[in-house]
Chains A and B, each alone.
Chain A
Amino acid sequence: MSRVTDETRPAIIYPVQRREGWLSYLNPQEAIPRPIYLAAMVTTVALLLVLWAALTYGGVVNQLFLPSPTAVVDALVKMVGDGSLWGHMRASLLVIVVGWALAVVVAVPLGIVMGSFRLFEAILEPLVNFVRYLPVSALIPLLILYIGIDVRERIAVIFIGTFFQLVLLVADVAAHVPHDLLDSAYTLGAKRRHALTHVLIPATLPGVMDNLRITIGWAWTYLVVAELVAAEQGLGYLILDSMRGLFVARIFVGLLTIGLLGFATDQIFKWLHRKLLPWSPRIA
């Protein structure tokens, strides 16, 4: 005789560890209440600001090394007011976006081909893998020699900084498309070409999108290197130039702007992923 349970009684759920309190937040991989999560994030930022204020207004650190919040805000307001910040931003955005976009246009198809066909992997991988390790800054003398010292050289720096990594990332995505997906297409009557365009490439889209987001982030880190040489505008140039006059507050303005722009592009790509690829199983 089997026991029938009373289905109106609530099911047992994992007990909430109210009694343990803060200690339970140290259990690995355990969720914490959202208010706590947000509070922790906000508190850290607030503490950093307080620390910054204390170190500068309190005279603990020389204002040469760490300008006070007021000094930075002053510099920011001045640069926004006279339009110079926008000028620098535009110049940098141009270099970053064009350099990165060129890298994407070449690297994505190449990466898909490399990842899908062992023959092309054999042909291209040794070269790509080798150049990948060369520091971009070491290539600048050659770039100046070949291209010159105008904006094209700076775009080339961003291109080289992102292209080789992107090819390998995309190749990895293409190589990991489950073979059963292609086999399913074949058994539905698809020929090779159709399987390539209608199965393999769509299957790589979420991974490629993720890699686009990651590499544009890297592109920002190459900005200073790119603008090392004969730039007249740009956030990297701003930082380098401010160093010469020891306008440390302006350096901070430059850094904060780069950081915020990088953060913004990251968020934009996350949004694009959700909008353009709503079917994507990845949580972007």
Chain B
Amino acid sequence: MSNGLRAADNGQHKLDLHDISMVYRTRRGGTVLAVDRLSLHVGDREFVSIVGPSGCGKSTVLRMVAGLVRASSGTVLLDGAPVTEPGADRGMVFQSYTLFHWLTVQRNIEFGLQLKRMPAADRATIARRYLDLVGLGGFERAYPKELSGGMMQRVALARALANDPDVLLMDEPFGALDAQTRVLMQELLLELWQRQPKTILFVTHDIEESIFLSDRIYVMSARPGRIKAEIAVPLPRPRTLDATTDPAFVALKREIFELIRAESAKAINVVGE
């Protein structure tokens, strides 16, 4: 499944971040170095997570890949081409509920397809297919206000996937859900990914989540964010919940926890901007 670890013949990965830095200007006129010369890569159809303490800049890194924010220096390359603006090739799922509440579930999922001028019948077919895939068949005409948090995130996932992006970016997508729903969503995500492999860059602060889901994990330091460690997850796929009791899993969890603990201690007294 994770055949993306091998770079393409020209040394290029699906997603390449080279020496990314981010500098913010604060309201008081000073500057903050949020991300410091960070480099990482994601292979084709690889599932990679970024884990780190709050405020370390992991969401910023993701937003740079999405093109929502410009790096102060460094480059973001998708298939070798630089990324500067948002686009449908990099779909994103956010943590907060970002469904368009004036549209039905089906219209939400069709949103990206409509932008591509796809005919209505084709849009509907694709929307219904993804709705079924996330287990919400029958909810086509519901409005977001009628859905629970987990259901909304499933629609958000379907909406992003239906648009067939080259890369799927996920910013703590399950962070606002309760623990049980979160686990179900993780399993759903893996199931979808097995069925239709995609390149995924996943940001989370939940160590277990990152190990359960990923092929590789980047551990970020506290601000200014740097890559502290790059850790391969050798657990076999497909992964079930049993994997969480596997000794290898537990060992990885311990290792990453220790790496992050020191960083978290640095991070807890940092004031947000």
Contact = CB atoms under 8 A, between A and B. Distances in A.
Given A189-B163, A279-B143, A178 B112 contact: no
Interface string A164-201: 00000000000000101101111111100010000100
B96 A180 contact: yes
A203 interface: yes
A81 interface: no
Contact of A184 (B92, B104, B145): B92
A141 to B, nearest CB: 44
Interface in B50-105: 66-68, 86-88, 90-92, 94, 96, 98, 100-104
Contacts of B145: 279-281
A202 interface: yes
B115 A183 contact: no
Main SS class of interface, A:
helix
A188 B159 contact: yes
Interface string A197-235: 001001101000000000000000000000000000000
Nearest to B116: A189
B111 interface: yes
A281 B66 CA distance: 29
A112 B101 CA distance: 19
A277 B143 CA distance: 11
Nearest to A183: B68
Interface in B98-143: 98, 100-104, 111-112, 115-116, 143
Main SS class of interface, B:
loop
In this complex, the member of A178, A189, A277 whose beta carbon has the largest number of chain B beta carbons within 10 angstroms is: A189
Contacts of B86: 183, 186-187
B96 A185 contact: no
B144 interface: yes
Contacts of A199: 100
A267 to B, nearest CB: 22
25 contacts: A180-B96, A180-B98, A181-B98, A183-B66, A183-B68, A183-B94, A183-B98, A184-B98, A185-B100, A187-B87, A187-B91, A187-B169, A188-B91, A188-B159, A188-B163, A189-B112, A189-B163, A190-B115, A199-B100, A202-B102, A203-B101, A203-B102, A205-B102, A278-B143, A279-B101
Interface of B: 66-68, 86-88, 90-92, 94, 96, 98, 100-104, 111-112, 115-116, 143-145, 156, 159-160, 163, 165, 169
